[in-house]
Structure 1
């Protein structure tokens, strides 16, 4: 048994390319859901699990993370930062934390929301031994994750995003318990391309005959694609609010559903309807007669009068003109050559973009940063950053 307290290493260096344009100016772990960055929920869970020393592995736009969390005092923890300047894989990221770790530690992803209970279980398991611990959970789409092969209560292999037939919906949950000795396992792992943590675990499993497994059935919210933000936002609102947090300036003729998170500096006009599963950020203005439902609106955005937004994510400092419509039926989207069917995403608008009056975004339109559009245009595809969209 180790005498050192268990620490936590949180991997937060990634860019999140599948989430562009929202990650052009911020790292993926700093994307807001229910009006807080994803990473906030992970740090809170680690603190609630009784771990008070965290190492954050940062890289892409790391200043956003460092400025937000500082030394960790606001969360009741001590935070050390280490840098992964080039994203060379999760195994490489963990190696960057070696100098900051002096005992057993729990590794977590900075964009995957879990409950404190599983962190406590992993910490207890790794404190009592030198062998790695892997957590597993059940999902409806195992092919998108690391599918596990088991032998009783041990994991013998983790197959990342397999192409062939899948016989289980059990996946690697991405919460690991490791001892300092595992750094050498990572260093000596033979792999092509990125050095992933799962490759090192698979090598260990081959040599040792398996890895201890802990099964997890609690909340597990993962953000891989743009539409996942809406699902995670809804899940967090459902589990963390008992009524709307309406503290902004809201007109007495506005209608705000109970399952809404509303920043205290938001301004809501007359006859506005804010439907369920919606998060409205700081300094957002929603003008009269607008409708916003199942949406995330980042800070400092203005939504014009009569605009209708459903199933959408609107970034910061956006200007949506009057009578804009962002909505659409479930549709097919292609992300990095992968086809996703029946996606409920009306649209996404990047930072500092201006959408002209009476414009329509539909069927998962993704509008980049710094775009300007004419009035009454229709957008149903991806628009590159800096584009001017003319009518006709």
Structure 2
């Protein structure tokens, strides 16, 4: 049964005119979603159009959605849950609630986003499929948006290699979009996860996809744009990744192909050139041997093979547990670097998560 905290996070997420940034700022300053809802009802200056009765209405709506979710095989991850994806928590505007079908634990694993054009060429589809396959073979999760073209091929490549892949929707979890991807949706829900910040019955309107893209990049250590024209939505994902302090990669295409004009512009602007999956792994500092299918353990660096960033964090954690924010401040590293290093250390068994922070093992 869902706790009052889960219900109140869900209720807070549905209040019109608030938005995730203001809602989260309010919840953090007051001590949680329950306190934020109560404050909205008391203090007219916080959200002038909000009335106390709306808090009760929002909670009733949340109770109904919780019941629907349980009946439909959906679960929730709220911002203050230990299972909330650590990299996603670090972005400017993380979703308050993630609706989920599949394995929530895979959201904490190191991931790379693979995105690109819906109207992809044969070359683009082949490259996306190969990248999806090779990334999971190295123990990484592949994140994409379940769209036609590049997204779908990246998911399929990961699945074909027996790996874990996550699809992020721009609609409710009960809406399969595009409809042709019904079987792909089911495969992702079984082998990895399908998630959305939107409640069931939310239609796939165009304005929702840029918001979806911030989650795709926010879950990932880096974003690879395989093929994109000048106006492709994949370029939005690349821009968001850059704003989030994550790595941006681009795959070159033919110089006379309009389908690659956007990726070529990214390369001109400083995106990392991808000629093989090794280029990605080297840039994000992912040091593993090629991995077996997902039924086997995810390979991790040997205990002695610790990089400079990891060692810096281990030194800080030598005497006490620390939250991520404190590790960022103390280490002098950016949030993306700290997040990646923490994931590698956790997979290697050198640290473990405790509450909102981490402690050293042994």
TM-score by length of structure 1 reads 0.27
Q: Which of 1 and 2 has higher RCO (CA within 8 Å, sep 6+)?
A: 2
The answer to which structure has the higher helix fraction is 2
The answer to which structure has the higher strand fraction is 1
